[in-house]
A and B are shown apart, each in its own frame.
Chain A
Amino acid sequence: MRLGFAVKMLGQPDLKSHDTRRWQNEPHLSVSLAYVRDLFGYLDRADIRMYRLSSDLAPYLTHPDLPQFHHQLDECAAELALVGQMAREAGLRLSFHPSQYVVLNAADEAIADRSAADIATKAQMLEAMGLGAEAVVVVHPGGVYGDRKSAMERFVARYEGLPAVARQRLVLENDDASYSVRDIHCIHQQTGLRLVFDYLHFLNYNPEGLSLAEALALNLDTWPADVTPKVHFSSPSTAMRTVEHTDSRTGGRRLVLRSPRPTQHADFIDPFAFIAFLRQAQGLRDFDVMLEAKAKDLALLRLRDDLGRFAPGLLSEEGG
């Protein structure tokens, strides 16, 4: 089992995940890829073999008003190939997870078109890196728009309109409020899309009352036998939130404490919940786990230590 984290490295905060410059300063995908090459060194030293690339790896690639950025993929064929070669040599699994603004089933056609373009370019990058089928682009089904059936049909139709490279690499994740494991499985049955089980989302939204093992198995079985499935794991935040509150009468601002939401990611992973999860997964096929924690790579390193302390040998039992 490989454990992974997303984008930002807190253990080495001076390592950037991509070229973050504003468009006026001419950022470029090739600079991002040089940053990725550098962070691969850190991942290797830390023995981390799964990583989510920044959604902004190719700056402004699909921005409608900045055409000067539209050809970066063509301009970076060699550099993308190098990054892919490095990833393969390191046994590093890469993926993308487009931002919340990428909504393939949007009611607004313009949003849907931009979303499709975003997904396609990310798939093209993974393709240009020469990565295998495990390198995926993860999305949620999107909104419900007052009519779940139509929204799901719209997702399917838009998915089928994607270029082949995007369809091959796209995978679907359950969310925490709108689309359950059953819902995305329904979409899988129509499209063949592979599914990503998100543990915290499942805990927050499981209207069908599936058991965890049932839900996990449903997702894992959507992956071909020769491709390791991907699962997302996070722990719910239990920390008070500091929120800036504006008084509607006076306009004055003050800071208030609010209780956490169960959908929010904790800084670290609850090791006991993770151990229980893995024990429930015993007997199912092996999978890789993307950890979604605010402490990023530090959360991964901490979990690894915790597993060694509280459940030594469990990862090796799971093939990790």
Chain B
Amino acid sequence: MDEIELSSSHRVLVAVMNDPRDLEIARHEGWYRIPLKRAPTRVAADYLAFYQTKAFGDEKWAVNYYAPTRRYRLVTRAELLPEEADHPRAREPYYKVEIGPLQRLPRPIPSKRLRRVAFIPTTLERLLRAEEINDLWDRGSREDGLWEAFRREGIEAERQYEVEEGMVRHRNSEQSVVDFAIFCQEGQVAVICEGEPAGEGLRVIRERQVSDYDLATLSWTVLRFDRQQLSRDVPGCLAAVREAVSRCGGQVDPCDWTNRE
């Protein structure tokens, strides 16, 4: 049977490490756990990389290490952590992702702003090339093109930003995510890239995204760009973004936004 290989990229899942003990487990015992109930849409990967949070001192708020995956075992939490057999989630199933040796990245991949990082599916090429967290997102060439344009033009944005607080939860949606979030003096600008069709007349199914109404109730200004705009009129998209940012009082310095959170 013919199989068409469009991409030979090695897949990477960036996962969060909140506890130094978990890094030691990864380093010395060679595994990382993901609760099955809270596993992301994309859990499988050829490599895991780890975003370390504030408990990690000098290494905090950055991705510093990665390792090849070896096994995805289904086990209970109690099997993983027998010393916590009385834990409320002791009997719940987890993926025990067994990994090879931890390798240090050529350079850390920081998050410039304090934001919630969950799981980020990416590729090994992006991981080894990334300068900051937002470079990791693998969302298609059109969205990447807009990201690169933002960087060139000095528009500071967060990619795949989860808008949680105060949001009305949509039925059947896990989270409300905008493709780009730009933080301003008087509100925020959300940029949403409409579905990435794979061919004329065909629309690839994308995850549901948040509604304009819900965002507006939280002082978000929403811009939606379709694939034609993203392919053929990036300057027009940039102009619309700049105008929206201006109407919201101009961009906030990333450090100011961090303090605000």
Contact = CB atoms under 8 A, between A and B. Distances in A.
Interface of A: 6-8, 10-17, 19-21, 25-26, 28, 30-31, 33-35, 37-38, 41-42, 45-46, 52, 54-55, 75, 78-79, 82, 97, 99-100, 265, 292, 294-296, 298, 301-302, 305
A30 B3 contact: no
B68 A25 contact: yes
Interface string B38-63: 00011110100000000000000000
A17 B71 CA distance: 16
15 contacts: A6-B3, A7-B3, A8-B5, A11-B205, A13-B6, A13-B7, A16-B11, A26-B70, A28-B70, A30-B73, A38-B43, A78-B75, A296-B4, A298-B198, A301-B203
A302 B202 contact: yes
B41 A41 contact: yes
B44 A11 contact: no
A220 B25 CA distance: 55
Q: Which of B11, B43, B201, B204: most chain A CB closer than 10 A?
A: B204
B233 interface: no
B188 interface: no
Contacts of B199: 295, 298, 302
Given A28-B70, A38-B44, A14 B198 contact: no
B98 to A, nearest CB: 9
Contacts of B4: 8, 10, 294, 296
B73 A79 contact: yes
A78 B73 contact: yes
Nearest to B36: A82
B70 A298 contact: no
A45 B207 contact: yes
Nearest to B71: A30
Q: Which of A13, A17, A28, A30: most chain B CB closer than 10 A?
A: A30
B29 to A, nearest CB: 17
B99 to A, nearest CB: 11
Contact of B205 (A16, A35, A45): A45
Q: Which of A19, A52, A54: most chain B CB closer than 10 A?
A: A19
A302 B197 CA distance: 12
A38 B39 CA distance: 10
A31 B74 contact: no
Interface residues of B, number: 37
A240 B107 CA distance: 48
A240 to B, nearest CB: 17
A79 B11 contact: no
Given A19-B46, A82-B74, A14 B138 contact: yes
B71 to A, nearest CB: 5
A8 B71 CA distance: 22
Contacts of B103: none
Contacts of B204: 11-12
Contacts of A100: 1
Given A10-B6, A19-B46, A302 B205 contact: no
Contacts of A99: 1
Contact of A294 (B2, B9, B74, B207): B2
Contacts of A30: 71-73
Interface in B201-215: 201-205, 207
B108 interface: no
B85 to A, nearest CB: 20
B72 A33 contact: yes
Given A11-B198, A38-B43, A305-B202, A31 B72 contact: yes
Contacts of B2: 265, 294
B112 to A, nearest CB: 25
Nearest to A44: B205
A55 B74 contact: no
B201 A305 contact: yes
B175 to A, nearest CB: 14
Contacts of B11: 14, 16
B121 interface: yes
A212 to B, nearest CB: 24
B134 interface: no
Nearest to A55: B1
A82 B95 CA distance: 11
A42 B9 CA distance: 19
B79 to A, nearest CB: 11
B240 to A, nearest CB: 28
Q: Which of B7, B44, B46, B204: most chain A CB closer than 10 A?
A: B44
Contacts of A79: 72-74
